[in-house]
């Protein structure tokens, strides 16, 4: 029996313990309170870390440990496994709400993204991992984003296409490719990639904003381009169509603040000009920038004054 104050050893109904092969710890990394932040929290920003809370007296823990070790070996670096002896690290166990063991917590990006308690079968844990760990397509998209941030557009495209080869419906890959297509002025590709994003995906709303942003290039080109629009405004500062077209030209070049200023000028002078096109354009820019962007916050407040 566990001593008073120790977590309860938990094994789900239907999982046999009699005759189980006892597991001798030592194959995986043992972590204590002093190493926890570095080995779990900080490390999980680089690779997901699975933490196995266990104790030597706990039979179900000894059943689970070799299963976790086997999965770690099979996954080849997809995640790292560490073990925490709750007898030796009681304060750490309390801090993380451990009441029954074995308890497993999966960390990614410095926080818990999944957990379970009990000696689960390998197939169940495999489903748990597949649900919470990045897929091959997820990793390809992340690599594409890293390459894009480094200025390697060609490499980013290759990674994003590789993601679609692994998962043809991957919403993140389609969204990223739609963004690149918008920059290239390839309206057909934007439509194709946005159409491929499932309506239930979290990327769906962002994709629809990209589709709506196609109007910026059309309006800028219809007005003769940025130089022609600037000449019109120099001749007549009251030309609201030119102000709107200038905002569109700025948006095409991703000059977001000048774009918002131009659209706001139209709203201030005549809010319903062209059925409120400038107002709608500002909403599209907000969607492209994201709800938490500084420009979104600032210009939403300005827009509220005139609407």
Give the residue numbers annotated as catalytic, written as ranges.
Answer: 58, 61
Backbone angles phi, psi at 202, to 5 degrees: -65, -20
Output the 3-class SS for 122-189.
HHHHHHHHHHHCCCHHHHHHHHHHHHHHCCCHHHHHHHHHHHHHHCCCCHHHHHHHHHHHHHHCCHHH
What is the CB neighbour count within 10 angstroms for residue 119? 24
What is the token pair recorded at 214?
């196609």
Per the CB < 8 A criterion, the answer to whether 289 and 255 are in contact is no
d(CA 199, CA 188): 19
Task: At 225, list the tokens.
Answer: 């381009």
Q: Which two tokens stand for residue 167?
A: 């998962």
Tokens linked to 117: 């308690």
């Amino acid at each position: 029996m566990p001593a008073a104050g120790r977590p309860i050893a938990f094994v789900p109904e239907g999982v046999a313990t009699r005759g189980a092969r006892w597991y001798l710890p030592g194959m995986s990394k043992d972590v204590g309170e002093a190493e926890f932040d570095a080995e779990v929290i900080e490390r999980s920003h680089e690779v997901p870390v699975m933490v196995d809370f266990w104790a030597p007296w706990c039979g179900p823990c000894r059943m689970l440990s070799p299963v976790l070790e086997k999965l770690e070996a099979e996954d080849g670096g997809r995640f790292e496994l560490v073990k925490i002896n709750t007898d030796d690290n009681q304060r750490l166990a309390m801090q993380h709400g451990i009441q029954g063991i074995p308890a497993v917590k999966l960390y990614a990006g410095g926080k818990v993204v999944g957990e379970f308690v009990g000696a689960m079968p390998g197939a169940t844990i495999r489903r748990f991992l597949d649900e919470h760990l990045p897929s091959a397509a997820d990793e390809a998209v992340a690599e594409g984003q890293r390459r894009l941030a480094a200025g390697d557009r060609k490499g980013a495209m290759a990674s994003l296409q590789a993601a679609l080869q692994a998962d043809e419906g991957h919403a993140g890959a389609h969204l990223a490719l739609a963004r690149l297509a918008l920059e290239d002025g390839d309206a057909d590709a934007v439509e194709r990639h946005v159409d491929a994003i499932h309506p239930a995906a979290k990327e769906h709303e962002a994709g629809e904003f990209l589709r709506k942003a196609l109007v910026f290039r059309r309006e800028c080109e219809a007005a003769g381009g940025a130089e022609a629009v600037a000449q019109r405004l120099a001749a007549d500062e009251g030309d609201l169509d030119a102000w709107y077209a200038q905002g569109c030209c700025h948006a095409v070049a991703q000059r977001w603040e000048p774009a918002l200023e131009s659209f706001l000028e139209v709203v201030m002078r005549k809010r319903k000009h062209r059925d409120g096109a400038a107002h709608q354009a500002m909403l599209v820019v907000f969607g492209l920038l994201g709800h938490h962007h500084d420009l979104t916050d600032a210009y939403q407040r300005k827009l509220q004054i005139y609407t």
